[in-house]
Every structure is written in C-alpha cells, then in structure tokens.
Structure 1
Amino acid sequence: LPNIMSSGWHLHQSLRKNGVNPFVSEKEDLSEIGRQFLAGLLAHARASSALSTPTINGYKRYRPYSLAPDRVVWGKENRGAMLRVVGGPGDAGTRIENRIGEPAANPYLYFASQIYSGLDGIDRKLALPPCADTPYEAKADLLPRTLSEALVALKDDACLKSGFGEKFIDYYCTIKEAEIARFNLEVSDWEHREYFDLF
C-alpha cells in the first residue's frame, strides 16, 4: 500500500543446550558461539532471502530508512540493521533478531534457512565483522532487490543447497521462476499511467 510501512516477520532466535542459552556472555553482548552463529546468518543472508521473502512484492520492503533492512549488516539494538543483537552481558534472554522476513514466508523454510546458516557459521568458526552504527550508510553487500536476484544467490549457496538438498532447491527455484514469468506478462496500472497518454 502506498505511503504505509509494510509488514515484516522479525524472527528472534537463540540456541539452548541443557537449558542454557550459549549466546550469553558474562562480559560481552554476545558469546563467541553467538558471534559465529550471527556471522553465518550474514554469510548466507542474500541466499536465504529467497526463502524468508518469497514474493515479488516483498522486495519492495528493502528500502533505506524504512525500519526494514536494505543491506547485509548487524547492529546492537538497532532496528535499521538486518540482524539485531538483543540483550547484553549476563542476560539469559540474549538473542538475534532477523528483520529480513515477510509474513508470506513458509515458517519451516524460513526457520531452516536460519538454522543451516547459523550452524554453518559455528562449524566454520566464521569471524563476525564490526557492527553497523548507521546501517543504511554502511559499506556492505546490499540485499537482493528482486526475487530473481535472490534466487540466483540461493542457487549459488553451497550450504543451503546441502541443507535443503539440491533437488528441493531446483524445484523451489523452478516454481518461483514460473511465478516471475507470469508476473512479467502482466501489464500494470503504473505502465498505463506512465505511458498510455504519451504514446
């Protein structure tokens, strides 16, 4: 809808082992395990967007200064960042909020994309880049601007292809590419307004 903030699906996530949250650090905002998990979410953000934002319209959310993310960054208590660390030293509720998703996402695919991504960060002990104090100005990879761009990233992501299985990824991308092809055949109201009276 024009001039109205779009709905997002902000997914809060943490781990549990023997009833303990391993993201908690007594001295830092996030433990080493938490930092590695967060780094994994960043590493696979562009690919996982095809699963967390599965509609053509959903990519119109990714705009600067809209309280929706537009690039692959993380921040502390910053609602403009794609990934937000919530909590602090010693806080048992410490967690990571991913603000990339939309309500149309399939919860199983969205959750699985986060689990595979975060665990890959732990398995590979990925280093976390500095947090973004100004997320809309940070020098970082932009999120996909279209569903087509997100599908290309998904097809190229070895971690998610391994987790979901190549057959599933091929099937999912084929369905979504057919959806995009149908969309491209439609003539929109914008095209009528923009061109009809001129030509």
Structure 2
Amino acid sequence: MRRITFFLFFISFLLCQNLNAQIVQGLEVIGTGFNNDMVTLHNNNYSRVASYTYSNSVFEIPVFVGFRSRGQFGGALDILPGDRITGLYGSQFIDNDYRVSAAVEMFAGSTINNSSYSSYIIFGTINENETTRLERMRIAENGNVGIGTDDPFSKLEIKDGDIYINDINNGVIMKSPNGNCWRMTVDDTGNFVSTAITCPN
C-alpha cells in the first residue's frame, strides 16, 4: 500500500512538472515512519505553495491543517497533554546548514478528553548573538496572552519588560462604570491626565 501510494504520487508529480497536467483527485503520501521530509520542493528564487479555494460558504478557506495523534498509521491513539500538534518553522542557511530560528508551535492543553480539546500556541525566536530558540509569546488555553511568561494570569501579562508608548497623544483607554471611556496619559511632570474620548468600536 505504501509503495503503491508513493508510486502514484511520484507519477503525478512528474506529470505536473513536465506536462503541466492538472491532478483532479487528491494525493496521499504514506511514509515509512522515519524522520524525513515527506514532500520537498526545490526551486531557484521562489519556492511557494499556493492554495485556491472556490466556495460560496463563508467557512471554506485555503488552510494548512496538521493532524496529530499518538499510536501509528491505522491505529491512532489519543494524544497526551503537552504534545505538540503542529507547527510552522523558519530555517536560515548558516555555516553550511539550515538552522531553525523562528517558530509558531501549537500544543495540546492540560485537559484532553472527549469534552475538552484544550490547546495553546507558542511563538519563538532567537536573539542576536545566540543560537537557542526561546519562547517569546504564548496564547494560553484560556485566551490570556503572555509576553516573557509562559503562564499569564491576565488577558495580557508582560514579564521582564516595559510597555513604551512613543506617541504623546496615545495612552491607555479604560471604561468607567457609567460606560464612558477615558484615555490615560501623563503630563511633562509625570502626573496622570485623563481625557474623555469616544469608546472604541
């Protein structure tokens, strides 16, 4: 089955490459279980994958979907909390090798069962003069966003850093109990100034 499926894919690939043929049916590639790339694209200057979707439904969009389970092909098993579901990785060619330097990773959350599909997302980068990718931002299971922390306790939590607002006309907008909105800024002596504004839509 594996050889037949791969052979059909290989023939289809050759047709597309040499004859500009259109493949109407879907393609399926079943690997051998080894840690290697299933499909590889090589091209000078550009190497992109374009997806076009034609539908009158508002829910149908071109997407990349990563399906993850434990077990093996033909015998999928439930994933465990903390398992990496899928990810998007960027690698740079440095010193004769490709180095993964930026990533967006999606993980299974802390409670996984048929009534809880919890998950979280991690954004990672590598700083200057370093070689280890670190988590920079996380969207937690409850929707809280953490920058510099992997366990945000509020809708936005920042650790080991400041929030800098460069424009003197901007500030922090808060809503009062009566429904009015106020922008908080500071004057030249550092005193807080509140200005009534129209609430953002």
* TM-score interval, normalised by the smaller of the two chains: under 0.3
Which protein has the larger Cα radius of gyration, Structure 1 or Structure 2?
2
The structure with the largest helix share of the pair is 1
Q: TM-score, normalised by structure 1?
A: 0.22
Q: Which has the higher contact order (CA 8 A, sep 6+)?
A: 1
